[in-house]
Structure 1
Amino acid sequence: MSARLDLERLVATPDGQGGEVKSFEQIGAVWARVEPLAAVTTDSGGVQQVTVTHEILVRHRGDLVSGMRFAKGLRRFLVQTVHDPDEDGRYLICRCTEEGQ
């Protein structure tokens, strides 16, 4: 595990007009192993979009859930799934999609 990532959670703040503003706030930092899995290109209305998926391995945390994200510099990895690969409570594998690709 050689990548230092910030762990962020989604926070909703009232906007004063009955709605809310959603943003992410950092809740910690973790050491991780980041492995790219696939890049899928789709064409939507003449615009090409690339979705890059990654598998991110971290030490077990009880507060890590889907919907959070990891940040490394300007890169953002949205957590889609979280699971304990061998159910012993040591590590978690997160399937993530990279935002902004």
Structure 2
Amino acid sequence: MKASDVGSMRERVTIQAQTQTINDAGEIATLWSDVGTCWARIKPVKAVQVALAGRDDAVREYDMTIRFRTDVSTNSQIIWRERRFDVQSVVDNTEQRQFLTARLREINA
């Protein structure tokens, strides 16, 4: 993505980070907290039906492009239009710290 394409980032997304704590029952609980909100370009990549845990689920993948930031990783999740996406990979395509492209996955959409 070029700097001149920044106008294509029209979707508002929230980046969340994962924290693990031990709950009252002594079990590990995963909590998600907001790290930040930014503008993004979201582009569908593929959708497939897969069998997970004995049932058919829809798996959709998207590419999300945002301005460069250091708090997005494969341990993050993205909230977009009240939907939750797991981050599968994060790439600084030009390695110039301008933009990041993250592959997102949504299961059972």
TM-score by length of 1: 0.89
**Residues 55 and 75 (structure 1), Cα distance of their counterparts in 2 relative to 1, 3 Å cut:** same
Aligned-partner residue type, residue 57 of structure 2: Q
Contact 1:79 1:95 in 2 (8 A): yes
Could you tell me which residue of structure 1 aligns to residue 71 of structure 2? 63
CA distance in 1, matches of 2:46, 2:75: 20
CA distance in 1, matches of 2:53, 2:96: 46
CA distance in 1, matches of 2:31, 2:83: 16
Contact 1:75 1:99 in 2 (8 A): no
Could you tell me which residue of structure 2 aligns to residue 89 of structure 1? 97
Could you tell me which residue of structure 1 aligns to residue 38 of structure 2? 30
Structure 1 runs (4+) deviating above 3 angstroms are 43-46
Return the structure number with greater helix share.
2
Aligned-partner residue type, residue 61 of structure 2: T
**Residues 10 and 100 (structure 1), Cα distance of their counterparts in 2 relative to 1, 3 Å cut:** farther
CA distance in 1, matches of 2:29, 2:61: 27
Could you tell me which residue of structure 2 aligns to residue 8 of structure 1? 16
- Pairwise CA RMSD of aligned residues? 1.7
**Equivalent residue for 1:50, pick from 40, 48, 58:** 58
Return the structure number with greater strand share.
1
Identity of aligned residues (%): 26
Gaps spanning 5+ residues in structure 1: where?
none
Contact 1:10 1:23 in 2 (8 A): yes
Gaps spanning 5+ residues in structure 2: where?
1-8
